[in-house]
């Protein structure tokens, strides 16, 4: 079975890491597709985001980290013969959005199913936007440590001048 999980991962959070771990267990081949949108401002470059994910999944033989640019996710999933699009649900807003996307994807290719995973309670509020919003305030270095994996925290500290 082949699954694909896509996002901007700017930066990857503990919630993303939890999803990676679930996908690694579920799929024989698990693609993590890092999005690049010309209309979006990123804190980390595409290569930096991909490198962080590779480091988080370094020992996983069934993971492929790829770029998703200017293509519908379901069309990319077709091109890699994916069986499933893997999506995380943290709250009602995520569910409403992801349900709509599932129907659109189903219209484009009904043979590729969407699999939803509900995040654990302790990860519901964790998002890349939350992490980025914390950076810069007094004590951000310690606070952000709670929401991102250690390699990502190290990159945040480097990027925002807390370490050389």
Give pLDDT tens digits for 18-44: 999 999 999 999 999 999 988 889 999
Quote the pLDDT of residue 162: 62
Give the structural domain span for 115.
2-124
pLDDT digits (tens, 9 = 90+) for 122-160: 999 999 999 999 998 999 999 999 999 999 999 999 998
C-alpha pair distances (Å), 33 with each of 65, 72, 160: 6, 12, 25
Could you tell me the CATH number of the domain that includes residue 70?
3.40.50.620
What's residue 163's pLDDT? Answer: 61
**134 within some domain:** no
Tell me the HSE value of 102 on the side-chain side, using a 13 A CA sphere. 16
Residue 81, token pair as written in the block: 């013969």
The answer as to whether 30 is a domain residue is yes
Domain count, the chain: 1
Per-residue model confidence as pLDDT tens digits over 76-108: 999 999 999 999 999 999 999 999 999 999 999
Sheet of 113-118, strand order? 63-69, 29-36, 2-7, 84-89, 113-118
Q: How many residues does the chain have?
A: 164
H or E stretch including 116?
A: strand 113-118
* 83 in a structural domain: yes
Task: Look up the pTM and report it.
Answer: 0.94
Q: Is residue 34 part of a domain?
A: yes
Structural domain contains residue 52: yes
164, pLDDT greater than 60? no
Let me know: does 4 contact 33? Beta carbons within 8 Å. yes
Residue 135 domain-assigned (yes or no): no
According to the model, what pLDDT value does residue 43 have? Answer: 94
| Helix residue spans in the chain (DSSP H) | 14-26, 46-56, 73-79, 92-108, 128-134, 140-144, 150-159
Number of H helices, E strands in the chain: 7, 5
């Amino acid at each position: 079975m082949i699954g694909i999980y896509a996002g901007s991962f700017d930066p990857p959070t503990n919630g993303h890491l939890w999803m990676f771990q679930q996908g690694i267990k579920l799929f024989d081949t698990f693609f993590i597709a890092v999005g690049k949108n010309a209309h979006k401002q990123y804190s980390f470059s595409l290569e930096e985001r991909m490198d962080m994910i590779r480091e988080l999944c370094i020992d996983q033989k069934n993971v492929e980290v790829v770029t998703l640019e200017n293509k519908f996710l379901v069309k990319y999933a077709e091109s890699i013969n994916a069986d499933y699009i893997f999506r995380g649900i943290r709250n009602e807003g995520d569910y409403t959005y992801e349900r709509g996307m599932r129907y659109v994807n189903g219209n484009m290719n009904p043979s590729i199913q969407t699999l939803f995973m509900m995040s654990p309670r302790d990860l519901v509020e964790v998002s890349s936007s939350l992490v980025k919003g914390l950076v810069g305030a007094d004590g951000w270095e310690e606070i952000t440590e709670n929401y991102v994996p250690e390699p990502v925290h190290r990159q945040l500290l480097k990027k925002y001048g807390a370490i050389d």
